Amino acid sequence: MTETNASRAVQHVNVFSGPHLIGTWNPAAGKVYYAYSDWLPPHGRRPVHGGPELGTKRYEADGSGTYVNSWTSLPFGDNETALGTGTDATEHHFTGKEHDAESGLDYFKARYYQSQTGRWLLPDWSETPVPVPYATFTNPQSLNLYTYVGNNPVNAVDADGHAFQNGQDGSSRTGEGVTQPQACGTQNADAVTSNNSVCVVVQDGTTTPTASPSQAAANNQVAPPQDLSADSKEQKAERAEQALEGTANLLDASLRAKALGGAVAALSEAPPAAAVVAVYGVVSIFGQTITGTAQITEAFTGNNSGVAHKAEQVGNILSGPAAGLITAAKTRNLNKAATAGNVESLYTAGTGLVDKSIPFLQRAVEFGMSLLGVH
C-alpha cells in the first residue's frame, strides 16, 4: 500500500500480509524497515509465534536487523510511548491500523476508533438494517455498539471496524452468518428463516437459526416450567405440607395483627412503649406474611430455589426482627439469619410474650420518666 502527499510524492510503501503490517519502504531514507508485532494467545495458551496476531507494532528494525525504535501501550492502544528516538517508518501502530496524529484516532475502514476511551466514535452498522448489527446474542458484550472487541483487547482483534476474532478460545465474529432477530414477514423471503415462530436474518445467505424455545430452555436461557404432574408421592406430600405451612403463617399473621391492636391500646398511657411494640409487631407481621406467601408460591410452582425461596428467607428474618436482623448484620448469611428470625417468631407466637411484656414496659417507661423528672 503506497501513501503519497498532496503533491503525489511517495511518502512510504507499506507491505501487509493479510491485515498484518510486515514492513515499510521509506524512499526518503532509501531503507526498508521491518515491523515486529505482538501475537494473540492461541486457545488460551501463552503467546507463541504463529498464533493469530494482534498486530500492534512493538519493535522496528532496518533491513540489516539493526534496532531502530520500539513502542509500548496499554491494552486498548492508549498511552502509546516511543522508547527510542529512531525513525518511525509508518503511522500504522495499534493492531496495524493507521493512526492520525492530529485527531488521535485510528482508522479501521468502517469506523474511527479512539484509544483513549476504548470506544468507537460511531455505533456499529451494517448495509442491511438490523436491530443490533454484528451482535452475538449469547455474548452480552457484543450488544454494545460502541465497545471495542467486546472489551477484551488482549485476546481479540477487529479487522475492519465491524467484527472481531477471539484468539483465546478460537471463536470468531466475522459478520458472516451472524443472525439478527426480526419480526416474521418483514424481510425478503430469501433472507428470513422461520424457526418455531422465531425469524432470523442471515447476512451472507447462510441460515443459522436461533434456538427454539425448548432449546433456549435447555441452554438455561429460559427457565422451563416445572412438570408437577410427574412428582412422586413424597414430593406431592412435601408440597402439600408446604402449602399448609404457608397458609398457617398467613392465618397467624392476621391473628397477630388483631392482637397487636389490643396490645398497643393497653399501652396508651405509655406512648414510647406503645411505639416500640407497634413497630416490632408490624415488622414481624409483615415478615410472616411474606413467608406465608412465598411458601404457597413454592408449593404451587415446585421451585424451591428461586425468587420465592429468597423471599421466604427474608420473611423469616423479618418475622423475628430482633434476632433475624442482628444475625444478618453479624454473619451476612441469609440461612443463619432466617433460622434465628424463625426461632424468635416461634417464641413470640400468639400474644403471650406481648401480654407478659406490657407490665414490664410500663414499669420501664415510668422509671425512665421519673429519672427525667417527668410526671
pLDDT beyond 50 at 81:
yes
Cα separation, 247 vs 286, in Å, equals 14
Backbone angles phi, psi at 156, to 5 degrees: -145, 155
pLDDT of residue 9: 86
- In this predicted structure, which of 121-125, 197-201, 252-256 has the lowest mean pLDDT? 197-201
Using a pLDDT cut of 90, give the percent of the chain over it: 14
Q: Is 260 in contact with 281 (CB distance < 8 Å)?
A: yes
Average pLDDT, the chain: 73
pLDDT beyond 80 at 364:
no
Write the single-letter amino acid at 85. Answer: T
- In this predicted structure, which of 79-88, 111-120, 191-200, 287-296 has the lowest mean pLDDT? 191-200
pLDDT of residue 373: 62
Q: Report in angstroms the alpha-carbon separations of 107 from 38, 275, 281.
A: 19, 69, 67
Using a pLDDT cut of 70, give the percent of the chain over it: 69
pLDDT of residue 218: 42
pLDDT beyond 50 at 131:
yes
Q: Is 317 in contact with 338 (CB distance < 8 Å)?
A: yes
pLDDT beyond 70 at 181:
no
Give mean pLDDT, residues 275-295: 84
Residue of higher predicted confidence among 61 and 374: 61
Mind listing the pLDDT tens digit for each residue in 193-250?
Answer: 333 333 444 444 444 444 444 444 444 443 444 555 556 777 777 878 888 887 888 8
pLDDT beyond 90 at 118:
yes
Mind listing the pLDDT tens digit for each residue in 293-348?
Answer: 888 888 887 777 678 888 888 888 888 888 878 888 888 887 888 887 777 777 66
| Largest pairwise CA distance in the chain | 105
Instruction: Pull the grid cell for residue 37.
Output: 508485532
Can you list the positions of beta strands (E) in 123-261?
Answer: 156-158, 164-166, 172-173, 179-182, 192-195, 198-202
